[in-house]
Structure 1
């Protein structure tokens, strides 16, 4: 220890040295100890304390600091450098070191000093410890805020819930200063089904007989939905015990992880560093991170639900497209070939039979192209890059070739409005027309039909009319178990999806009239109008 002669220092210099430089030295040494609590840093604190003691004329001192986030510290200098036992300290001057921030006692200073020298030394040390603690507290709070911000960003941006939860467990363990941390997610019975750990190696975790099952303290947190802080797990009546090869743990802090008021798991820490108990500040921090964990779990659940709904919607769309497109095309081919055997037997009809077979082959080639389109894009190429009016006219021509029905086609009034529609709406309208014409061919028993495109009050109107036997729409409540009547539902869904309406009318005479109205404007909102006067066909 460096010796300093008190008689070589003037009163003014001695005052400045004892109130400024020693204070700065002690503060600097304490801050270095807080950042890196090694033996070298402890020695630096002892040297700074020794400097104050020597300048002030004291013989020795013991400094005890117990004020998290400062690491626990006990150093002695001068006559007290060997850290006398508690019984030997009773005759020494003792000063509690308080905090101006209201934290309470930060530590204690014992002095072997002449009368009048002890109190100034105590005030200098108290100021240094208080300043070091305040700076450490501010730094710790900044770290906690940064960690919470990081967790919040991860919850908002990361859909991989395991990565988010691992980040939360790692960060809370580091901030609190615990040896172990874990997060368990429970199933509907309260049994832990997913377990995320921090502070234990993969090899150590693999050696454990089984992950916790939600008994003991962990089960109490899940069942009661309350935070538990225990200084000694072994002495807690709620303990259950550890599985084989599980690390021994003493202190415990656990908080429930809740989703919409229901406890779905727990976030817990064990064994705070240096053997210190967990504090109320630690408890609040763990509870905040547990809230973020609950948000992450709920976000993952909602994302999974959205994904599954998207799959269901895509399946429904594909089903509609298959039903309204490929199946109708194949059915039309079959319809055109039904009387080919009779034509072949008649020598005069063989030419017509050959022509029908050629057309059927061409139609099947188109069906093959549609199937390829499904494989490549999961969307049939009905119309494709073709002008939508020409595609609709071609549907009418195909209907005339395959069905024994006189079809009247009038597209002139609504042609330009159809061309102005977005491609996806034009395709939907073509699907509706194909399904409606197919129903005429298969079910109506009609001899005449009409396909009309018109404009009425800003709407594009598609009408498919026939003179067949007709039916009561109210008797068709929707697709049955065999998938029949799916086409009517598909047509209505497509019309409503375009912001339009779908209606089935029964004229005064025989037959059925299907009327589809969609906004002629390309920027009209979709899905905002219901089909008037119709049931779920």
Structure 2
């Protein structure tokens, strides 16, 4: 009997100590959970919130790896943030998950899921190459009320243990707080996006109506630059649809696209242009061709203005194409709606400018017609009469010198009459012409080096007006690509562009005094120049060596 009392006391003491440890652990968990919730409110950027949630979850639950998958409008993962995997390894793994396998289970059935071994689950599809091994798993949906924003994934519990029910409760609590933080971050980003688009539309419209730019091409450049900044894109193109092709009017950003160059116009864009509505394409190669996916991500197409006799007469059906960088987030529904409003507003300003310029052109045409009529009815008739009078003087003199002077005088009067008639024809037949190749080349070079400490030199020789439009477009695009490469990679102080048109071929040479390179890896830019050369039966060569700069020689034969 006396022995039972100390034994019972020991049991009570151990039970007390265990409960005290449990209370301390629970308090620690609560403190960590509160700290994680507080950290989410420190930044309203969606990317920062997602990273904080994933990092806090890994630390709170003792997981080696954590990830946040954000659902897009199509019900698949559009953004995937990871913690625990090094950046280099992420690049080796390749494409991020989109919502298949076990990850897709939480999308179709948004309830907490705990697994002892990922590979034993019926929906497991395995891991891609270079993916770290993972076994234990805990996944919970991130939601606010009935709206699911995404999922929180945790793998590899410390010391190889399984995730417990207590871990699941903590993850659910953290996910609930994360849902509110993500909702707030999205609302904040939507608000900022709307504000950027409204400001861009107001600034562009004001500049257009105030006629700060003197030409149609300048108008389009201004609109493209404002849209590029407002959308956080890397490429902005304004094009006109011609059947199943898009004719580029202007381009600003990552790719070397020349005015009058043709792009693809898939059925989705044709329908969007016909119905005058904005649309998003997930594959940039549908528009920009093979290899575009290396640089570009999602593409948003926005009609600029509405159909009208004015826009159809001169501008055609304008489409604004905006492309994000490869791997960047997709355009949201809010951005699509804001961009559509931007296109409508600036389109109206463009049409007003067009109407104003057309009215001025009509007034100038009336003046030309009047001047031409006066020249024809008054000046030419008087010159013709003076010539007849000079001819009649021949019968009053037989002096050979005088006869010679009369002949010279009448020839000069005839030449003056011919020049006046040529002037009259040019006044009657005057039409606005698109910029020449030399000006397009100058514009492309200076635009590419605009923000770089590089001095450009451009030299043009030969009869540029005889070049076919398609070949001219290739030359401008190649020059833009070569100069862009020099700006980004060479560290050069000067870049020289020389275009020479001979009798049977045209040659473009772009040379810089940068650091050069040896055995360059094949890039999409160099491949693009080679493809352009091959399409016209020409050649493209790059000469470079470390320390001696780079020289691009692009040649194409001229059609007979």
Q: TM-score range by the shorter chain?
A: 0.3 to 0.5
TM-score by length of structure 1 reads: 0.43
Is the radius of gyration larger for structure 1 or structure 2? 1
TM-score by length of structure 2 reads: 0.41
